[in-house]
Structures are given as C-alpha cells and as structure tokens.
Chain A
Amino acid sequence: MPADDPQTQLALAALDADAAARALSGGTPSRPSFAELYAYATDPAFEARPALLAALVRDPSLRAELRRLLGNVAKHSFPRQAAAASGAVARREVVGAMLALTISRADPGQAYLGIELTDPAAPPPSVLSLVGGDGAPVRLTLPAFAGGAVQMLLETAGETYRLLADPETEVFLI
C-alpha cells in the first residue's frame, strides 16, 4: 500500500489523531507520528527529519515499531544472525533473495554489496533498510536491478557497511 494513496493517507491521519489524543490525555511525551514512520519505512523519496532519526536512536520501542513495520512491508527480510554467526557477516540468504558483501581486491577500504533475487522476474526492491541493535537506522535507495541482481560499492568505514556486517542488524528489502 503506497504512502501517497489517498485511503492510506486518511487511515494514517486517523491513527495519528488517535495517538495525539492519547498522548494529550495521558500526559505521555509526544513521539513521531505513525504516518511519518510509515512514510520513512515505505517511501523511498521521503526525507526523514533529524527529529525522527534522533527519536529512533533514543527510543528502543520506536525502533522496534519501525522494525515490525519494515518486516510487514518488506519484500524480503533478513533476520539477525546472532545465533549462528561469528564475526562479520559476509553473506545473508533467505528464501527469494541473497545479499553478499565482498571486500574489493583493488581497494580494501571499499566493498561490493551484491543483492540477488532467486526469481529475476519478481518485482525488485527499491530500498534497503538496516536496523541495528542500537543507533539510527540506515536507509539506502537501490539502483535498478538487472537480471534480478544489483551491485553497489560501499566504504568499509561507513555506517552502511558496518551495519550490514554486524550480525545483530536486521536487513529489509522494501
């Protein structure tokens, strides 16, 4: 359900109004609206306010809410790997999709992120969302898939690589 769909907009506005009313009556501190969180999770063009990102860092329950939301809307979800992984994660695989990190031989400070879909004809994802154990989530717009695959270059010192290599991180292809 796209975030700019009129019915979705109406439903989100109603949810926000309800949350605002509860916050006012209960005296609880306000938090980013569900509509904003929904847009962040589903709309590649949505630019998050610094306040939303700060709230996601500060509030574990909001991060958990985002994680659940992403899990619901994602075409493919890669769970945390803590139970089975030791050290950095180089490859994640679920039914329908595979994600691999390969350090560049030419420049060890960079790495290739490859994403492959089992079914090349399946609708390709357009956004990669990463939610780690702490800190702000990271969202990345994906280039166009070709033949069910896409490849990007990442700096190994960057946050995106750090999160992808961290077994605690959940990865969502939206």
Chain B
Amino acid sequence: MTAAHIHILTTEGPVLIQRIAEEDPGIRSVVCVDGRAEALPISPAYDAFVRRPTGVIERFTGHGAYRMDVASAVTEGQSWQLAVYLAHVAALKGAATPAVYATGEVDHDGAVRPVAYVERKLKTIGPLDPDAVILVPADAVPDIDTVEGVRLVRVATVDEALAAVGLEPPAVPVAAASLARPAHRPRTARFRSVALALAGAVLLFWLGFQPAQWAGMASEGRLLDLETALDAADGVGRVQAGLFRTYMSARRPDPNGVRVEAAILAAPTGAACGEAAKAFSPGDALAAGETVCRAEVRAFAGNEGGVVVGRLAYWPDGLGVGRAARILRGSAEPGGRFWQIDFAGNPPPGAVLRLALIAGPADVSGAQPWYSDLLSTAQGGAALEATVQRLVRLGYAASVYDWRIR
C-alpha cells in the first residue's frame, strides 16, 4: 500500500492505486487488481508508458518494469496516465499525498493531453475530504469549477500536477537541463563557461539519452533490444550508434580466454552406464561395441571475468541436418556453465554435438535469434561468421565447438 492516495478517475468511479512495486527487469510491467494474479488488458499500454524509449517512467526512475495494483479494474484508454505518473513520483520519493483524483493523458514531453468523458467521470466522485485535489487537463469541462466542494485544478503539464499535490518533480534528465547565464562576467569566467559547455556537449553526446539507454541494455544483457535500438537510431543517433558499436566491439571479451572441457562417457553396455562409465576426450577413439552413455561439457569465463552462456545441440544425423534432437541451455556453475546430455540409444555414425558459447558482461536475456545459426551452420562459413560479428558489435564474443561422437 502506498502512502499516497491517488485515484484514477474512470467512468465507473475513482480507482485507488494501491501499490507500485519494482519487478525483475526482464518482465513487462503489469497492472493487477487488488493483488490478484491476473493482468488487466491495459498492461501492455502501461508497459509502454513505463519503458524506454516510448515510456516516461523509466526516464526518471531508472527502472523499466513495475507491477501496479489498483482497487478495481481499469479497462481501456490512456486517461489513467496522469494519476499513474503522480503515483510513480510519490512512490519514488516515498511521499504522502492528499487524496488525489486525476484524469489525463501524459505525452513524452510531460504535457497533459485532453481526454474524453471528464464530466461523466467527475459525477462518479463521492463525498470528498476538504483537502482533496482533483486534476483535469487544461480546458476540460470549462463550466464545472467544483465537485463536492473541492475546486478542480486544470493542468497543462505534469509539473503543474505535481505542484498541485505537493510533490517535487523528479530529477530532470540531463538533456533537458539548461544553463542559466549571468548578464555580465569576466572574460576568464566566460571562457571557462564555454569550455564547460563544450565539455558538457561532448558528455551529452556520449552519455546523453541514447548511449546511456544502450549501455543500460548492454549491462542487463538485453541484446536483441539493444540491437533493435541501435538499428533504429537516426540522425545524430546513427553516428552515436556507430561509435557505440565500435566501443562495445573493442570491449568484448577475448573468445580464446574461454576454457572448455568436454568428456564423452562410455561403458561396455548400456546397463553399465551408471558406475562403469569411463570418460574419453571427444577426439579419442572408443572401443568397438562400447555404448555411449552421455556427454558432459563445461565452459569457464576467461581471466577477464564476465559471464559465459551458451547452448549445446545434439545433431544425430550430422550438423544442421534435419532438426536438432536436443538443445540444452545448461546450468550455471561457479565461473562458468555446465551441460550434460544423456543418450537414450547409441548415437549413430556422424552424430555431432555443437556447443555455441557467448561471453560478455552479463547473462543474455530475452529472445536470442542468433542461436539458430550458431547451433547449425558450418564452421568457417559466411552465415556463422556474420552471426559472430553481429554479437561482436554488441560487445559479446561468440565461439562454437563441434564434437563428432563416434
């Protein structure tokens, strides 16, 4: 329960925002009713309202995934945005507010846009505390001044709304800051200001909105999001994206630093696979008639640290032929990762194990389309090289290892 008492005005009546809590960055923000495990249909719109680059909440909280609980369902539209914005600011600051009733859409620049059915929403408000605040977009319902004895406050921006409920605006993003300049200054001071402004411009160029956002994605391992954002950059952003790729490429770990250990376990009979299995290096010849029990593979991050992740694919009919019978994500171990694959029957001649490793600063989250090429295309081929380079430009090193089992 938040200390703020902020209500979304709806045509069915005011809906209290009960709680806003941070969630794992890998999930999408959701709106639920009263703690229940059911996401409301407005959840995707709430996620877009929160998450960069479309959203406004992550810009001042630095976090991109939340769960918001409301007292009853809010079914459609965007007019919940003003109340939700205020609730996020109050939650960030841990601030209490008077009872607030708000309707309005919030755009990317913090302007409060007009919404429909304001008069109908106001009619659903019951008795109010005298210190309650009702917020509506500027120019809304010009012929209504008070509801239940409380004056309407018309707001054109979120800052006006925050001021009306006694909340300080959240920290202003760097790019929106402006430098106040005195009318007259000594020459040295002016020179220093120019130098500072230039340094600031350079800093903005490097650390401004987009590179900071990209760096955040890279550190969270959101590689596909990062790639999409870099590809979508235009104008100055395109230059920044090119430099960012160069920067990330230079900082990627050395793929040769990753250490891989693999063993094939075989036994005279399938029944002896438990205790009697002997380990062979993948290149060693097995004795005739031996049963291949399982393969165990370990990969360890290099001395530079970081994270190594990957997939192990089993191709019974040869690399890239038909469908991989198994694709394993492996399990994390101290300093690396471990894969184990059990063979139900003896692998046929030509069966291949392909290990695809990705090493970088963080575990990779989200969809990972590059694995289809990493796990199936021939070493030395153009497709594999293109995929490796695709990851290199995102700051990750990729490598593959093949073992013919028999």
Contact = CB atoms under 8 A, between A and B. Distances in A.
B387 to A, nearest CB: 13
A36 interface: no
B67 A104 contact: yes
Contacts of A84: 328, 330-331, 339-342
B23 interface: yes
B22 interface: yes
Contacts of A151: 27-28, 30, 39, 43
A148 B224 CA distance: 13
Interface string A112-127: 1010111100000000
Contacts of B30: 112, 151, 153
Contact of B372 (A95, A98, A102, A154): A95
A153 B27 CA distance: 11
B130 interface: no
A53 B371 CA distance: 38
Interface string B328-372: 111100000001111000000000000000000000001111011
B82 interface: no
Which 4 residue pairs are nearest across A and B when measured between Cβ atoms?
Answer: A106-B21, A153-B37, A83-B342, A106-B67
Contact of A83 (B39, B340, B367, B372): B340
A95 B324 contact: yes
A116 B366 contact: yes
B44 A106 contact: no
Nearest to B312: A84
A91 B331 CA distance: 11
Interface centre among B19, B24, B67, B367, by most A CB within 10 Å? B367
Given A105-B21, A153-B38, A148 B367 contact: yes
B35 interface: yes
A149 B21 CA distance: 23
Contact of A95 (B27, B323, B331, B367): B323
Contacts of A114: 26-28
B264 interface: no
Nearest to A85: B331
Nearest to B38: A153
A93 B19 contact: no
30 contacts: A83-B294, A84-B328, A84-B330, A84-B339, A84-B341, A84-B342, A91-B329, A93-B327, A94-B327, A95-B323, A95-B371, A98-B367, A102-B24, A104-B23, A104-B24, A105-B22, A105-B23, A106-B21, A107-B35, A110-B37, A114-B26, A116-B366, A118-B369, A119-B369, A146-B44, A149-B28, A151-B27, A153-B30, A153-B38, A155-B37
Given A91-B329, A118-B369, A83 B341 contact: yes
B340 A95 contact: no
Interface in B299-343: 311, 323-324, 326-331, 339-342
Nearest to B69: A106
Interface of B: 19, 21-24, 26-28, 30, 32, 35, 37-39, 43-44, 67, 294, 311, 323-324, 326-331, 339-342, 366-369, 371-372
A142 B368 CA distance: 22
Interface in A49-82: 79
B39 A152 contact: yes
Contacts of B32: 153
Nearest to A79: B326
Contacts of B366: 116
A86 interface: yes
B2 to A, nearest CB: 12
A86 B340 CA distance: 11
Interface in A133-155: 146, 148-149, 151-155
A77 to B, nearest CB: 11
A91 B369 CA distance: 16
A104 B23 CA distance: 6
A35 interface: no
B357 to A, nearest CB: 16
A165 interface: no
Contacts of B329: 91, 93
Given A84-B340, A105-B24, A118 B367 contact: yes
A144 to B, nearest CB: 9
B88 to A, nearest CB: 14
A104 B32 CA distance: 12
Contacts of A146: 44
B327 A107 contact: no
Contacts of A110: 37
Contacts of B22: 105-106
B371 to A, nearest CB: 8
A100 interface: yes
Nearest to B294: A83
A24 to B, nearest CB: 38
A153 B37 CA distance: 5
A153 B342 contact: no
A106 B342 CA distance: 38
A153 B67 CA distance: 11
A15 B368 CA distance: 42
Nearest to A146: B44
